[in-house]
Amino acid sequence: MKKWTVALLSAILVLGITACGNDKGATGSTTTDNKPAATETQQQPAAALPTADELITKTVEAGKTSKNFAMEGTIKQNITVGEGDQKQEQKVEISLKSEITKEPMHLYQEMKMSIAGQEQNIKQYIAKEGMFVEVDGAWVKLPKDAEAELLAQVQGQISPEQQFEAFRSAAKDMKVTEEGDQYVMNADLSGDGMKEMVKKVMSQSASGKDPQTLAMIEQMNIKSVKLSFAVNKETFLPTKSDMVMDLTMEEGGQKMSLVMDMKSTFSKHNEIGEIKVPQEVIDSAKQ
């Protein structure tokens, strides 16, 4: 069970983080009636909603103006391995709070993880002072040779709008609605097409290039994925992201099923100041 959990967290967390930042448009746009008004009192038709391609394009362009942002999210996973008397179940819950700047790429993140009833709290800084990780109260400064690998894994988080292109092929299955000052995009996806999009998204991260991760994606039977994303009408920057994914896979004669529910919110676009490692963290960290 531990092997499945660790491997899935490696694969799904990358997908989840990028999907959290990726807001997709839908082709369920409406059109207005071009017929002239019959009377002077006839109401003018509402403006048409953007199409999927329009929203994706505008979000990618808006992302070029985003220098930093904050993200909060929760991930709940129910993992079942085996069948009948041999079945094992495990629940994983993760909560994340992040502040990210793009240029330079700096990050502060707090994560709480619960696996099989065991909880772990993790904090990390990525800044000019180096990379520092706190696990259950003890700070450690990562060696230089570990920084490059971790930085590559995190790189996919800092420009999530670029991931939108991977979802453009699913535009025909998406629907756009309005909620206040947001465009909300919803989709129900499944099958091999979704697997290809998962591969495209994950291939843009270091984990997605790992042979073990790629092999796991190939084994996935993605039964369904429900997506709901929102962007601000004025800025086209992301505001929230929800994803529910149901999949099964088999390896070595062992069956596994996973249901994941992930929710994220995005805020403070271009409001985050310089991220620095506090001096007390530097002084107390083990090398």
* Bond before 238 cis per omega within 30 degrees: no
Examine residue 191 and state whether it is found in any structural domain, yes or no. Answer: yes
Calpha distance 75→94 (Å, rounded): 5
Residue 39 lies in a domain: no
- Give DSSP secondary structure letters for 18-38: HHHH-----S-------SPPS
Closest CA to 22 of 50, 66, 53, 63: 63
User: Is 41 among the domain residues?
Assistant: no
Supply the pTM of this predicted model.
0.77
**pLDDT digit string (tens) for 89-104?**
899 999 999 999 988 8
Adjacent-strand bridge partners of 238 = 231
> In which band, very low, low, confident or very high, does the pLDDT at 129 lie, cut at 50, 70 and 90?
very high
Q: Is residue 119 part of a domain?
A: yes
- Residue 244 belongs to a domain: yes
Is pLDDT at 276 greater than 90 in this prediction? yes
Query: What CATH number does residue 154 fall under?
Result: 2.50.20.20
Helix or strand or coil: residue 23?
Answer: coil
- Please give the residue range of the domain that contains residue 279: 2-28+46-284
112: number of Cβ within 10 Å: 14
Residue 73 lies in a domain: yes
The residue behind tokens 């299955």 is 173
Quote the number of domains for the chain. Answer: 1
In a domain, 33, yes or no: no
